[in-house]
Chains A and B, each alone.
Chain A
Amino acid sequence: MMLNISQRKTVKHWATGLFAWLVALILFFPILWMIMTSFKTELQAISQPPLLFWETTFDNYILIQERSDYLKYAFNSLYTSVGGTLLALIIAVPSAYAMAFFPGKYTKDILLWMLSTKMLPAVGVLIPIYMITQMGGLLDSIYPLILIFALMNLPIIMWMLFTYFKEIPKEILEAARMDGATTRDELRHIVMPLSWGGIASAGLLSLILCWNEAFWSIQLTASDAGTLAALIASYSSPEGLFWAKVSAASTMACAPIIVFGWFCQKQLVQGLTFGAVK
């Protein structure tokens, strides 16, 4: 059978679409399965063959809140992520602005050095940090976590902001200055409006990284300041098969950030490409 060009295009279009959907569903399947399992009873969760249709139950969610106080951990996650992100932004925005608009001789070296501090493995400094925190009586408190989260993400935030600020055309600023704009006017009417996108995307990435951070949360917190990541890690001990409950807890731990990520997808990507995309 011969197909003309437009028919061939349609076939190709449908074939690509089917294939892409198949791949997407396979890669999304673990998440889907987690959500499905969270609405099953423990017996249904491990039934063989796996159940695709069942009577949904919300018991797991109620139990998780009752037994391990999900909300407390959720708020700890929220405070530490937002706190760490805000702190990092407060430090990084002026610095990155100064480096992008008034670069010195060593600005690029400093930025590369900053990135290289990210290469220091956290585990290499775990003991000192643990001891300093202990000496300050701040184990299992959210404050050291906020500070650590801020410092941990600072280099990446600096990079994202620097590349973003650098893209702002200097000619606009010069033109404004010629028209008699003061530095304050410049900042308020030109720099800030043009850089909201970059600040937002750096903040978004930082929020996601903080929310999902597991190493420091597991090591430095227990029942008081524990974050959701630490709560989930505590379910890893094999005390039996509690897949449905673990799934419910996991779903609740990830849902806020996944939904958040979906909505901010475009914004997030803008900064992540580090000016690689023009």
Chain B
Amino acid sequence: MNSQSNISTQVQHKWLNVVNLLKAPSIILLLVWMIVPLSMTVYYSFVEYNLLYPGPKLFIGLENYSYFSTDSAFFPALFNTLVLVGSVLTITVVLGLALALLVNQPFFGRGVVRVLLISPFFIMPTVNALIWKNMMMDPNYGIFSVIADFFNVVPINFLEDLPLASIILMVSWQWTPFALLIFMTSLQSQDTEQKEAAQLDGAGFWSIFRFLTLPHLARPIAIVVMIQTIFHLSLFAEIFVTTGGGPGFASTNLAWLIYRQAFLAFDVGVASAGGVFAIILANIVAFFLIRAVGKNLTE
């Protein structure tokens, strides 16, 4: 009896080792991928280090931080980052929901409509930005200016006058299909009998939506918010291709500000301090998000 239980604990131990061996690579790789660059960034943020002036890397305390945070672009960039993420999330979730409800109805050619609707998600961000910059928003030849001419209105110079809104439009166009994809699938798994029963009891469209559909979609919405936040906090390609952060700082986000500092001003120290700010911001957002959404995900 005793020896038998010994054997089984031995087997369990062996198993545990195998299991840990399987788990280890992903954990270790991600740990290295996180810690090595992170500690380098933190180190550079405390030294004087400009690629244009090679020399000893002197420890200068918090000077890089104060330089970066007193840059006149700092607060606009912080603000723009949050506005960008917030607006895109709101637009894509609302629009994605509306479209999902729409294509959940039966009508002719629904399959083709779905394919057309989700296509923007597969477009690469650089192409997305170029299409909108040139063929849609160009003040002379773009489609929007053609429409404005048709109605005899003065065309808007989107990227000059509404740079941040233009970028929000591009990103939302790309990510609404993502929300739609997920909501569409969840709606298909909604209990139709429950809905029909509610309809028989005289519940209207809105109360069904409010009390049956929305709770059913709580988790998918959490997923959409989570994944999109991850991608939009460090939005880069669209700004790189279209506005270059301008005019002024009107479309500069934190990612762009750091990029400008590092690769246009060659100031590694200051850029690293900016990197640390970006990481702190991401952590604050992540903290709230994971508390709000993460629980929902693991259960």
Residues of A within 8 A of B (CB): 13-14, 16-17, 19-21, 23-25, 27-31, 33-34, 37, 46, 48-50, 91-92, 94-99, 102, 104, 108, 110-112, 114-129, 131-132, 151, 154-156, 158-159, 208, 211-212, 214-215, 218-219, 228-230, 232-233, 235-236, 241, 243, 246-247, 250, 253-254, 257-258, 260-262, 265, 268-270, 272-274, 276-278
Contact = CB atoms under 8 A, between A and B. Distances in A.
Given A120-B279, A215-B237, 4 more contacts: A121-B278, A129-B37, A154-B26, A270-B185
Contact of A95 (B26, B34, B136, B263): B26
Given A120-B38, A127-B272, A253 B234 contact: no
B294 A112 contact: yes
Contacts of B40: 125, 127-128, 131
Interface of B: 15-16, 19-20, 22-27, 29-30, 33-34, 36-38, 40-41, 44, 99, 102-103, 105-110, 112-127, 129-136, 140-141, 143, 146, 173, 176-177, 181-182, 184-186, 188-189, 219-220, 223, 226-227, 229-230, 233-234, 236-237, 240-242, 254-255, 258-259, 262-263, 268, 271-272, 274-276, 278-279, 282-283, 285-286, 289-290, 294, 297-298
Contacts of A273: 182, 185-186, 220, 223
Contacts of B229: 119
A19 B103 CA distance: 10
A123 B259 contact: yes
Given A27-B117, A274-B223, A97 B254 contact: no
B113 A250 contact: no
A70 B220 CA distance: 39
A95 B25 contact: yes
B109 to A, nearest CB: 7
18 contacts: A30-B135, A34-B135, A97-B22, A104-B23, A108-B298, A112-B294, A116-B283, A124-B275, A125-B41, A127-B40, A219-B263, A232-B130, A233-B240, A261-B122, A265-B114, A273-B186, A276-B186, A276-B219
A127 B185 contact: no
Contact of B102 (A16, A218, A219): A16
Contacts of A98: 19-20, 22-23
Contacts of B30: 114, 117, 151, 154-155
A104 B94 CA distance: 38
Given A49-B146, A123-B278, A128-B40, A246 B134 contact: yes
A14 to B, nearest CB: 8
Contacts of A123: 234, 236, 254-255, 258-259, 275, 278
B111 to A, nearest CB: 10
